[in-house]
Amino acid sequence: MFKRNHHLIFSNLFLLLLICTSISIIAFADEGMWTFDNPPTEQLKEYGFTPTQEWLDQVRLASVRFMDGGSGSFVSPNGLVMTNHHVAVGQLQKISTEEKNYVNTGFFTSKMADEHKCPDLEVNVLISMDDVTQRVRSAMQEDMDEVEALKARKAEIAKIEKESLDETGLRSNVISLYHGGEYWLYRYKKYTDVRLVFAPERQAAYYGGDFDNFTYPRYDLDVAFFRVYENDKPVESKNYFKWNSKGAAEDELVFVPGNPGSTDRLYTYSRLEFQRDFNYPLILKYIDRRLQILHKYMKKGPEQERRALVQIFGLENGKKALTGELSGLLDENLMAKRKTDEENFRKLIAENPEWEKEYGDAWDTIDKTIEKNVTIAKERFYRRIFGSKMAGFAQIIVRYVTEVPKPDAERLDGYHDSELPQLKFRLFSPAPIYRDLEEALLAGALQMSLDELTPDDEFIKIVLGNRTPEEIARALINGTQLDDVDLRKKLIEGGEDAVNASSDPLIVLARNLDPMMRASEKWYRENIESVLTPASEKIAKARFAVYGKDMYPDATFTLRLAYGTVKGYPMNGTKAPYKTTLYGLFDRSLSFDQKDDYSLPQRFWDRQKKLDLSTPVNFVSTCDIIGGNSGSPVINKKAEIVGLIFDGNIESLPGRFVYDEIKNRAVAVHSAYITEALHNLYKCKNLAKEIEGK
């Protein structure tokens, strides 16, 4: 349904039919990443299910956000959290050594005392949500220009977050939904003592490697378990999901609570063109270059291969995802649909004089601003230090000591009081830093900047002078001591005097670059962000005027609820089954002669006869997901675990822009495979019993 407006007089029956058709699509397709304040109640009535507030609260409080970039869920009352192996792999890498490579060998223990503490993992639970839209908007006065309004908006958001943090002690973030249509204060319980309990071998978790990534049928054991601690004791997680080893039947209604990263379904057509013609090609080119650097580095030896492997995995995963998304933008039918949708929506606005006066100029404003952004976007992208963690630390330290003494409302984003605990947690991470890898990545990144910018570019002059990227990288990495956590702490504690007195070459470089970086950021805020923000907000208000809230916002890496049914789909002239089995896993390995990415850990062959080969391995559903949903639980109407999201099929990648119910599928590990593996492959019976509630 859409909100009534007595000022609206439809002069064209087609427009009325268009609205009704659009709303029926919004309401009844298995589409949407819905906020918990606005669940898809009407749509779920089609399935004979209405979630109660108690059900929604239980699901919300049992769901977890991994700040490494994924999702998870509590699966026992003792703080046990489930996510994907590929969400956990960064922490696996950080706790690994040359002697113990947990990425390859896996990690599992039956004793809590042996659970391995992660160096810098933060997980969040969403405790509350408050609508602060009117408060944010009231901070912007009518006589303000766009730049002043942006400053006022940011200042009010910082004030809201600080007040909330001071009052509750909870992580407090103001989230923009519908591209400025609403602002919500999300409060999170934050946990930073998180310990690894179980992860299989990479060969089992990432079976099929990059060849099978974003495809289906699949056969992956992409699971990991952590335990959350507080005051050195496991958290009593009263809200958790019970386990259902039977899983979901074909055509059964299921749900995915998780934290989808970002989508562009509400973008204007010109913003999609910018993504297609500029942003995606730019990022893909960068990924290719960085992969070349890492592949060259890893050839130096087994230890270099270990150090680089996780980064390579992340980049290859990103490349395949971005390539699939770009294919959607290059699809004439998809783009034609988006263009037609926008044109029809603008016609609806134009039919109402009040709406046209209030919102009608927003699209043209965005178009002109995007054109201006193109002129500077490449330079802004390459006028940065890529690759080196220590160079990143230096830039944060230089900014920190300059920004934090200012009043909170006047600081740059990232340095407000509400953001400092997270910033320090990352900055003071004891995770290992490998100098030879830092040097290789920094040299490669500087070479990229040199290739893409002119030799007389200000950034090139400041960073390189008359030396080569290799020479500069070697001097910077060999001369810095920023891999020492204590030094980073001393510089922060010493403030601006200590940083200005430092002769550390990376600190010196960061000081020299900071004025140029600030000028670039200021130009972007005043010429791009200050214009796009209110224009996007106008379009959001227009959507609310026409459709009400019978729609969902673009993803923002905050908790959402997706729903759908367990269902196969047409594929390559045949049909993909809704599930795969252990029979298929062994057959696939044998079909590739057990080579390379299709080999299995030896334990699978040693214990094959103890396995029930009819056990479901992976399955697909129509649930609407995207990157960030990795590690999300798949639950049934009873809020029981039936699976674990780990991927989407290749057809789902253009879903960043348009959802396709026919072929979009979320790929999940079946709950039965997880318990079968714990019992009969890894002999982790205590862990299996814990999640089964035995």
Find the mean pLDDT for residues 2-17.
Answer: 31
Sign of CA dihedral 187, 431, 320, 599: negative
What residue spans define the domains of the chain? 41-85+215-261+559-692, 269-545
Q: Provide the token pair at 430.
A: 């004891």
Find the mean pLDDT for residues 74-82.
Answer: 99
What is the rounded CA–CA span in Å between residue 440 and residue 288?
Answer: 15
Peptide bond between residue 421 and the one before it cis (omega within 30 degrees of 0): no
Burial group, residue 182, by CB count within 10 angstroms (0-12, 13-18, 19+): buried
- pLDDT tier at 19 (50, 70, 90 boundaries)? very low
DSSP state of 558: S
Burial group, residue 520, by CB count within 10 angstroms (0-12, 13-18, 19+): middle
Find the mean pLDDT for residues 13-17.
Answer: 30
Count of residues in the chain:
694
8 has a pLDDT exceeding 60: no
pLDDT of the residue at 26? 45
Q: Tell me the pLDDT of the chain averaged across its residues.
A: 94
- pLDDT tier at 694 (50, 70, 90 boundaries)? confident
Q: Which residues of 507-519 are buried (b: 16+ CB within 10 A; e: fewer)?
A: bbbbbebeeebee
The model's pLDDT over 532-548, given as tens digits with 9 standing for 90+, comes to: 999 999 999 999 999 88
Q: Provide the token pair at 530.
A: 């200050």
**Collapsed DSSP state (helix, strand, coil) of residue 389:** helix
Most distant CA pair in the chain, distance: 76
pLDDT of the residue at 129? 98
Q: Which amino acid is at 494?
A: G
The model's pLDDT over 240-270, given as tens digits with 9 standing for 90+, comes to: 999 999 999 999 999 999 999 999 999 999 9
Token match 């910077």: residue? 476
Q: Provide the token pair at 188.
A: 């999170």
Nearest to 241 by CA among 458, 63, 108, 17: 63
pLDDT of the residue at 470? 98
The model's pLDDT over 84-124, given as tens digits with 9 standing for 90+, comes to: 999 999 999 999 999 999 999 999 998 999 999 999 999 99
Find the mean pLDDT for residues 29-43.
Answer: 94
The backbone torsions φ and ψ at residue 643, rounded to the nearest 5 degrees and listed phi first, read -175, 180
What is the rounded CA–CA span in Å between residue 257 and residue 225?
Answer: 18
Q: Provide the token pair at 408.
A: 């909170």
**Domain 41-85+215-261+559-692, CATH number (from 2.60.40.150, 3.40.50.300, 2.40.10.120, 3.40.1440.10):** 2.40.10.120
Q: Which residues pair with 128 in a beta bridge?
A: 187
Find the mean pLDDT for residues 467-482.
Answer: 98
**For residue 533, what are the contacts with CB-CB under 8 A and spacing of at least 6?**
150, 153, 180
What is the rounded CA–CA span in Å between residue 496 and residue 481?
Answer: 18
**For residue 67, what are the contacts with CB-CB under 8 A and spacing of at least 6?**
121, 122, 123, 124, 422
pLDDT of the residue at 366? 98
pLDDT of the residue at 29? 73
What is the rounded CA–CA span in Å between residue 536 and residue 202?
Answer: 43
- pLDDT tier at 305 (50, 70, 90 boundaries)? very high
Nearest to 192 by CA among 417, 389, 421: 421
4 has a pLDDT exceeding 90: no
pLDDT of the residue at 603? 98
The model's pLDDT over 500-525, given as tens digits with 9 standing for 90+, comes to: 999 999 999 999 999 999 999 999 99
What is the rounded CA–CA span in Å between residue 602 and residue 149?
Answer: 62
DSSP state of 182: E
What is the rounded CA–CA span in Å between residue 646 and residue 622?
Answer: 14
Q: DSSP letters of 290-346?
A: HHHHHHHHHTT-HHHHHHHHHHHHHHHHHHHHHHHHHHHHT-HHHHHHHHHHHHHHH
Find the mean pLDDT for residues 527-535.
Answer: 97
What is the rounded CA–CA span in Å between residue 175 and residue 544?
Answer: 18
Contact in structure between 429 and 120 (CB atoms under 8 Å): yes
490 has a pLDDT exceeding 90: yes
The model's pLDDT over 322-377, given as tens digits with 9 standing for 90+, comes to: 999 999 999 999 999 999 999 999 999 999 999 999 999 999 999 999 999 999 99
pLDDT of the residue at 112? 94
What is the rounded CA–CA span in Å between residue 37 and residue 18?
Answer: 27
What is the SS3 assignment for 598-633? Answer: HCCCHHHHHCHHHCCCCCEEEEEECCCCCCCCCCCE
CA trace torsion 392, 395, 400, 401 (10° rounding):
140
Q: What is the pTM of this model?
A: 0.94
Q: How many CB atoms are located within 10 Å of the residue 294 CB?
A: 24
pLDDT of the residue at 387? 87
Find the mean pLDDT for residues 157-166.
Answer: 98
Nearest to 492 by CA among 585, 382, 579, 401: 401
Nearest to 579 by CA among 291, 303, 248, 283: 248
403 has a pLDDT exceeding 70: yes
